[in-house]
């Protein structure tokens, strides 16, 4: 495990099929880096989780290991900041890779498979008052009024990519990585009730995945999610 101490719309949707988030969906976020020698097993595990219909698996590549010899092409400072926000919420003294966060409720090393699977099953057993439903380009959000702001995010990711690493800790390795986030956008703040949104995303590339999730602002708990394709 590698750690660092903390100092403090594209193409229109033409499809007419419907998708409903009536069943619980666990969101598993992996913070990883191509410059981290501990990360490939966690990347592979996330690939396994991405095959589950009841899991939204997302890999955020962070940029704080770029200095040690290999610049991760998928790393973004915004993803490092998102990890810092989780560290503050979980009262961690440091950020590290590989880290997995399950629906904002649980965090551990991305190599601790049993703990992560147990956290996923616990998340799936919980109930949610929030419902997300998509029909064509329209997304319906429905839920009770909330005094705490809820943030609605749209995320896009590459389903699978292969990279030959030529420098750094993973020099000479060919890395297979999954559900690599390239775009995370907060599309609205929401206080509950019923809301209809027009959502747009590209469907021209079969290797691109898209999803929406609702996250509570104060404790970063993810309350609902839906895969758009």
- What CATH number does residue 204 fall under? 3.40.30.10
pLDDT digits (tens, 9 = 90+) for 25-43: 999 999 999 999 999 999 9
Percentage of the residues of the chain whose pLDDT score is greater than 70 = 90
Residue 165's pLDDT is 97
pLDDT digits (tens, 9 = 90+) for 194-206: 999 998 887 788 9
Number of domains in the chain: 1
Q: What is the Cα–Cα distance from 43 to 59, expressed in whole angstroms?
A: 8
The β-bridge partners of 184 are 155
For the chain, the residue count is: 229
Percentage of the residues of the chain whose pLDDT score is greater than 90 = 83
Q: Is 7's pLDDT higher than 90?
A: no
Q: Is 20's pLDDT higher than 60?
A: no
Q: Is 17's pLDDT higher than 60?
A: no
With beta carbons less than 8 A apart as the criterion, state whether 67 and 33 touch: no
Name the band, by pLDDT with cuts 50, 70 and 90, for residue 5.
low
Structure tokens at 75: 């790393």
Which residues lie below 8 Å from residue 202, measured CB to CB, with a gap of 6+? 10, 11, 156, 208
Average pLDDT estimate for 52-76: 97
Name the band, by pLDDT with cuts 50, 70 and 90, for residue 6.
low
DSSP classification of residue 220? -
The residue range of the domain holding 13 is 2-227
Residue 167's pLDDT is 95
Stated as kind and residue range, the H or E segment containing 116 is: helix 113-125
Which residues lie below 8 Å from residue 189, measured CB to CB, with a gap of 6+? 149, 150, 151, 152, 217
Residue 203's pLDDT is 79
Mean pLDDT across the chain, nearest whole number? Answer: 91
Name the band, by pLDDT with cuts 50, 70 and 90, for residue 23.
low
Q: What is the Cα–Cα distance from 123 to 204, expressed in whole angstroms?
A: 33
Cis upstream peptide for 98 (omega within 30°): yes
């Amino acid at each position: 495990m590698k750690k660092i101490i903390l100092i403090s719309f594209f193409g229109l949707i033409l499809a007419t099929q419907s998708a409903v988030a009536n069943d619980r969906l666990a969101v598993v976020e992996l913070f990883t880096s191509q410059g981290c020698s501990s990360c490939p097993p966690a990347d592979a595990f996330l690939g396994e989780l991405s095959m589950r219909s009841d899991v939204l698996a997302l890999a955020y590549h962070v940029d704080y290991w770029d200095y040690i010899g290999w610049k991760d092409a998928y790393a973004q400072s915004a993803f490092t900041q998102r990890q810092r926000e989780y560290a503050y919420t979980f009262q961690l003294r440091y950020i590290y890779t590989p880290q997995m966060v399950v629906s904002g409720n649980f965090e551990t090393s991305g190599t601790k498979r049993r703990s992560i699977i147990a956290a996923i099953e616990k998340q799936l057993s919980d109930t949610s008052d929030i419902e997300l439903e998509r029909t064509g380009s329209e997304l319906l959000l429905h839920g009770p009024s909330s005094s705490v702001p809820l943030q609605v995010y749209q995320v896009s990711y590459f389903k699978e990519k292969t990279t030959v690493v030529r420098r750094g800790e993973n020099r000479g390795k060919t890395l297979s990585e999954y559900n690599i986030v390239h775009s995370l956008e907060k599309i609205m703040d929401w206080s509950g009730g019923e809301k209809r949104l027009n959502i747009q995303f590209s469907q021209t590339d079969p290797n691109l995945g898209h999803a929406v999730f609702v996250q509570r602002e104060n404790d970063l708990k993810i309350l609902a999610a839906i895969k758009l394709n």
